[in-house]
Homo-oligomer: A and B are copies of this chain.
Amino acid sequence: MAYFRIEYYSRALRRETSFEVLIPNDPREGMPEPAEPMRTLFLLHGYTGKAGNYVPWEMPAQYNFAVVMPSAENSFYLNGLSTGHAFQTFVGEELVDYVRKTFRLALSPGDTGIAGLSMGGFGALHTGLAYPETFGKIGAMSSAFIVHEVAKMQPGGGNEVANYDYYRECFGEPALLEESDNNPETLVRKLKAAGAKIPAIYMSCGTEDFLIENNREMHRFLEAEGVPHEYHEAPGIHDMVFWSEHIRKIVCWMFG
């Protein structure tokens, strides 16, 4: 499987950055060329991570899809307050445009999914809902649905993960957060109000994950809003053992 490490200038980030792409278009002797069109999965890492942290290596060739892996730092895949912290735009617009023009990938929502874990699970749901014309399917594992916690933060506060300034930079003014477009719930309400199509959603979380209640809360919210989605719990904690298994389930659901 071909691996691309790409360094380029990002207007959204106002600087040179890099991302990674996998394209299974180099079959070995006797193997067939991949079918067209190839599907595309945007795969989002978690807090403290970067591109390529967890990849189900055998699946792209088997299921005929490319993987686009941004390194979005600890941004929660949102447009932060500062110039150059536009990570939502980076992933949901700029990279999409770039892989379309460069590789002819991600050309339609039916061919394009977005998935992630923890902070990246939040990012997958949020980015997918922000760009439903781009992403037809969303996979969110062990997701850091922490909007309601952040919304209560006060200057000088924060939590054991990061300080108040960090959360304010990523999510914007906490007092405005619940109503803002940085809250996936707001995006759901707006899409419903507009009668717009909502991407297919698959959520999963380990029952011993410290984020299980946050995921149950989002599940109940989607149920209450009448948004179709799959929701799965399984034994497990917030670790690579869970993600290695469940990213494969998500890919099967998405492209199987």
Contact = CB atoms under 8 A, between A and B. Distances in A.
Interface string A36-61: 00000000000111100100000000
B158 A83 contact: yes
Given A74-B84, A158-B83, A3 B8 contact: yes
Interface stretch (A24-32, A200-208, A228-236): A24-32
A36 B165 CA distance: 39
A150 to B, nearest CB: 13
B82 A169 contact: yes
A47 B83 contact: no
Contact of A102 (B5, B25, B49, B50): B25
A5 B8 contact: no
Contacts of A196: none
- Please give the count of copies of this chain that the complex contains: 4
A117 B135 CA distance: 41
B102 A16 contact: no
A169 to B, nearest CB: 5
A210 interface: no
Given A23-B102, A102-B23, A165 B82 contact: yes
A5 B1 CA distance: 14
A245 interface: no
B84 A166 contact: yes
Interface of A: 1-11, 13-17, 23, 25-29, 47-50, 53, 73-74, 80-85, 98, 101-104, 158, 161-163, 165-166, 169
12 contacts: A1-B9, A9-B28, A9-B48, A10-B26, A15-B48, A15-B74, A23-B102, A25-B98, A80-B165, A81-B165, A82-B166, A83-B162
